């Protein structure tokens, strides 16, 4: 604690000199006490030291602990926060990455904040006017993860773990005054000349003093060069309440693409006279994703997408309290099976979005409204609207997010539910007119007629169709009916792009193991590829995932759906390699001797996925894992369906392993060629 105090003092001195923002991690030194009898509130545990508490480090969940695996109720956290008198003139915000799902937050025995029914969005608590600058500051957080009705997801209507606690990291954000509350940047890419525009909004808690100015700097972030492409004090700022708005033109930008994820760092500095009181930053990317005539385009190119979803919290060693390394590891597993497309049933840690920004995964991020048990009442609608608003505000800047999702499998033909879904779609469009919005349906397959009695499903309310498809498993129909089902859906909604939002085999509900999973995967992909109106597909799931849902294995933290191409710990199954090869944008077909050389015959994928390849490299090696030690060959631009023959050196007498690597460094395809 003495060390933390010294660091805080040092940071305060630095801030007073440079007068800008800094962050201080507050993940160590927490004390935790389980409250299995729900005594804490009645006995006012928030007024004193937690007796019998033990030390924990954030992120933390009690539901992976042996004695607390099935506890769904209250848990208490407490920490002493050290502050300096030098902070009296500062703006001080306490940020929790997420608290699942309801929290009462106390400072020195007084309740200062409530978080009700939202387990995955950030929680911000303003502290500067509540801190004791002359003595101790004791922060106490009571957390509840029961299956309550005043939360989203509702009750037990969700299929993932119900891990309670301070499940993500926490930090103090300290800045001068005036300071910014948020920064939302809308990049616009001009496809005619690849110039760019920025539409910038900076929010403040209070009106700014007269004479306050804003400065904007834009620089290349993860690119080969680090050029500053804009740096100026903004001369024209318009105001909407306490939100400052301004625009910026850039003559040339490098677009963001999942194979070339070019980012720019945007810094907005608040100038109080000549003094910089705060600086707020964001990484953004210039891309244009659009639909035309039911087809998908990225930066003007016709594309079809393939990917996989990761259900967070699946490793029983961590649960929802995943470390940075664990989050990155799962992101890499997604890329290892060629994912460029995914969706999120619930909001994730910022680090995951940053990974997708930098490694090229397009995302639909969703409010965790899930399941037919969810009611369409005023309480749930209000909580869902609040979550949607917070989600869009927090994650507005990520180029990886191309769409907002407003729910999953919610009785899409019920009129009251459709009205609630429509209200959320309308809200998303109002909050962000630069992205698409969708609802994920499992009832598109009902009522396939277009006559007078046809009732459209709620899935048609968004900008495109997202359908969970489980023929020959959850759907008790023959596999051979899948083709007719898909054609019927396209016939019912001919103008809507159609994406398969989930498909896969769920064990232990359906027996057969990974061998059956392989068969199911190959069959479904073969059908999808014959349907030119299917714009993309997401395999479900990356790993076998933990869930509270009944009817699965075990009754503790190991209760799970055996649904993944990796196990709970990330160990690959045979299906993972098959998924990688089926999801490759390049097809290597033959390796033949030719006049002392080898001729490699390949085609650009014409099914799923479908996009041009650019900047890919090819290797010939004698083992799967040593290809980097051998010569690489840069491939030209190869379009979908285009044939290309590459001559390479014959290193292993007409044999070897061909590996093609994406510009992002991940394997696109790897095939052995032996006699």
Q: Please give the distance of CA 434 from its chain centroid, rounded to a whole number.
A: 18
Band (pLDDT 50/70/90 cuts) for residue 469 is very high
Kindly state the tokens that stand for 528.
Answer: 């999808």
Tell me what the mean pLDDT of segment 117-126 comes to. Answer: 98
Q: Indicate the helix (H) or strand (E) that contains 268.
A: strand 264-272
Res 12 pLDDT > 60:
no
| Reduced 3-state DSSP string for 276-310 | EEEEEEEEECCCCEEEECCEEEECCEEEEEEEECC
Is the predicted pLDDT of residue 264 greater than 80, yes or no? Answer: yes
Q: Which of 346, 336, 344, 443 is nearest to 402 (CA)?
A: 344
Beta bridge partners of 405: 366, 438
Separation of alpha carbons 415 and 454, rounded Å: 14
8 A C-beta contact, residue 106 and residue 140: yes
Is 340 a residue whose pLDDT tops 90? yes
**How would residue 554 be classed by pLDDT, with cut points 50, 70 and 90?**
confident
- From 169, 181, 5, select the one nearest 91 (Cα to Cα): 181
CB 144 within 8 A of CB 234: no
Maximum pairwise Cα distance, the chain:
86
Helix (H) or strand (E) run with residue 111 in it: strand 110-115
Alpha helices in 432-512 (DSSP H): 482-492
Does position 6 have pLDDT exceeding 60, yes or no? no
Share of the chain above pLDDT 90, in %: 90
For residue 156, what pLDDT is reported? Answer: 95
Per-residue model confidence (pLDDT) at position 346? 97
Residue 168 scores a pLDDT above 70: yes
Rg (Cα) of the chain, in Å, rounded? 26
Backbone angles phi, psi at 389, to 5 degrees: -60, -45
Q: Find the mean pLDDT for residues 341-358.
A: 98
The 10 Å Cβ neighbour count of residue 374 is 23
User: CB-hemisphere CA count at 13 Å for 603?
Assistant: 10
- Confidence band, pLDDT 50/70/90 cuts, at residue 445: confident
Of 380, 377, 313, nearest in space to 344 by CA: 313
Task: Tell me what the mean pLDDT of segment 266-281 comes to.
Answer: 94
In this prediction, residue 254 has a pLDDT band, given cuts at 50, 70 and 90, of: very high
Burial label, 634 (beta-carbon count in 10 A; 0-12, 13-18, 19+): exposed
With 80 as the cut, is the pLDDT of residue 94 above it? yes
- Average pLDDT of the residues of the chain: 94
How do residues 561-578 score in pLDDT, each as one tens digit?
A: 999 999 999 999 999 999
Model confidence pLDDT, tens digit, residues 324-335: 999 999 999 999
Mean predicted confidence (pLDDT) in 407-417: 96
Instruction: Indicate the Cα dihedral angle 485, 491, 497, 502, nearest 10°.
Output: -10
275 or 112: which leads in pLDDT: 112
Give per-residue pLDDT as tens, 587-632: 999 999 998 899 999 999 999 999 999 999 999 999 999 999 999 9
pLDDT value at residue 228: 98
pLDDT at 11 over 50: no
pTM of the predicted model as reported, rounded to 2 decimal places: 0.95
Q: Which two tokens stand for residue 366?
A: 């969703």
Mean pLDDT across the stretch 492-505? 96
Please give the average per-residue pLDDT across 273-289, as a whole number.
Answer: 95
Residue 595, pLDDT score = 86
Q: With beta carbons less than 8 A apart as the criterion, state whether 672 and 657 touch.
A: yes
Number of other residues whose CB lies within 10 A of the CB of residue 384: 27
Q: Helix, strand, or coil here: 511? A: coil
pLDDT, tens digit (0-9, with 9 covering 90-100), for 290-308:
999 999 999 999 999 999 9
Range in 8-12, 166-170, 636-640 the model is least confident about: 8-12
User: Is-contact 644 635, C-beta < 8 A?
Assistant: yes
For residue 261, is pLDDT > 70? Answer: yes
The DSSP line for 114-179 is: EE-SBSSS-EEEE-TTT--SSS--EEEEEEE----SSSBS-TT--SS----B--S-EEEEEE-SS-
- Is cis: bond before 153, omega within 30 of 0? yes
Q: Report the pLDDT value the prediction gives residue 191, as an integer from 0 to 100.
A: 98
pLDDT of 219 over the 70 cut: yes
pLDDT, tens only, 15-52? 333 447 889 999 999 999 999 999 999 999 999 999 99
Nearest of 52, 30, 72 to residue 166 by alpha carbon: 30
Quick count: other Cβ atoms within 10 Å of Cβ 116? 14
* Cβ 59 vs Cβ 97: under 8 Å: yes
């Amino acid at each position: 604690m003495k060390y933390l105090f010294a660091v805080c003092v040092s940071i305060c001195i630095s801030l007073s000199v440079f007068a800008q923002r800094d962050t201080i991690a507050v993940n160590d030194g927490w004390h935790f006490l389980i409250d299995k009898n729900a005594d804490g509130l009645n006995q006012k545990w928030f007024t004193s030291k937690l007796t019998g508490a033990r030390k924990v480090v954030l992120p933390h969940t009690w539901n992976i602990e042996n004695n607390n695996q099935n506890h769904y109720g209250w848990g208490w956290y407490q920490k002493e926060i050290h502050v300096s008198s030098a902070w009296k003139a500062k703006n001080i915000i306490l940020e929790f990455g997420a608290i699942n799902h309801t929290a009462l937050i106390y400072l020195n025995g007084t309740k200062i904040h409530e978080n009700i029914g939202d387990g995955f969005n950030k929680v911000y608590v303003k502290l500067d006017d509540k801190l004791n600058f002359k003595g101790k500051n004791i922060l106490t957080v009571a957390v509840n993860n029961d299956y309550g009705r005043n939360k989203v997801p509702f009750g037990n209507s969700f299929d993932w773990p119900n891990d309670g606690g301070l499940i993500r990291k926490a930090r103090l954000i300290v800045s001068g005054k005036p300071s910014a509350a948020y920064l939302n940047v809308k990049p616009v890419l001009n496809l005619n000349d690849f110039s760019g525009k920025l539409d910038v909004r900076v929010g403040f808690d209070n009106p700014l003093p007269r004479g306050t100015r804003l400065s904007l700097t834009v620089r290349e972030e993860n690119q080969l060069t680090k050029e500053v492409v804009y740096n100026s004090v903004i001369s024209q700022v318009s105001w909407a309440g306490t939100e400052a708005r301004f625009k910026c033109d850039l003559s040339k930008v490098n677009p963001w693409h999942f194979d070339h994820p070019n980012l720019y760092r945007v810094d907005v500095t608040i100038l109080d006279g000549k003094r910089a009181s705060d600086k707020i930053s964001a990484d953004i990317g210039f891309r244009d994703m659009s639909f035309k005539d039911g087809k998908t385009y990225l930066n003007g190119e016709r594309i079809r997408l393939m990917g996989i979803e990761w259900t967070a919290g699946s490793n029983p060693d961590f649960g929802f309290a995943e470390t940075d390394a664990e989050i990155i590891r799962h992101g890499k597993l997604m890329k290892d099976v060629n994912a460029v497309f995914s969706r999120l049933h619930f909001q994730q840690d910022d680090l995951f979005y940053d990974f997708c920004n930098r490694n090229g995964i397009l995302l639909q991020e969703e409010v965790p409204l899930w399941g037919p048990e969810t009611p369409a009442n005023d309480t749930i609608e209000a909580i869902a609207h609040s979550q949607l608003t917070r989600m869009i505000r927090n994650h507005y800047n990520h180029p990886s997010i191309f769409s907002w999702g407003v729910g999953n499998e919610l009785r899409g033909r019920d009129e009251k539910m459709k009205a609630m879904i429509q209200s959320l779609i309308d809200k998303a469009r109002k909050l962000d007119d630069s992205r698409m919005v969708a609802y994920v349906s499992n009832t598109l397959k009902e009522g396939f007629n277009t006559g007078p009695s046809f009732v459209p499903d709620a899935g048609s309310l968004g900008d495109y169709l997202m359908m969970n498809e489980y023929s020959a498993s959850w759907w008790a129909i023959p596999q051979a009916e899948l083709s007719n089902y898909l054609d019927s859906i396209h016939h019912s909604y001919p103008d809507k792009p159609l994406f398969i939002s989930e498909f896969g085999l769920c064990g232990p509900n359906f027996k057969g193991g990974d061998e059956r999973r392989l068969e199911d995967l190959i069959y479904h992909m073969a059908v999808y590829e014959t349907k030119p109106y299917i714009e993309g597909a997401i395999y479900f799931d990356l790993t076998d995932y933990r869930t509270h849902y009944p009817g699965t294995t075990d009754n503790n933290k190991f209760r799970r759906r055996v649904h993944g191409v990796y196990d709970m710990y990330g160990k690959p199954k045979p299906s993972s390699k098959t998924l990688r090869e089926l999801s490759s944008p390049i097809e290597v077909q033959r390796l033949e001797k030719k006049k002392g050389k080898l001729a490699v015959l390949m085609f650009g994928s014409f099914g799923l996925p479908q996009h041009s390849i650019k900047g890919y490299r090819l290797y010939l090696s004698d083992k799967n894992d040593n290809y980097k030690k051998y010569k690489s060959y840069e491939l030209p631009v190869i379009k979908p369906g285009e044939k290309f023959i590459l001559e390479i050196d014959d290193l292993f007498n007409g044999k070897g392993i061909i590996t093609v690597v994406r510009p992002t460094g991940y394997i696109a395809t790897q095939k052995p060629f032996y006699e």
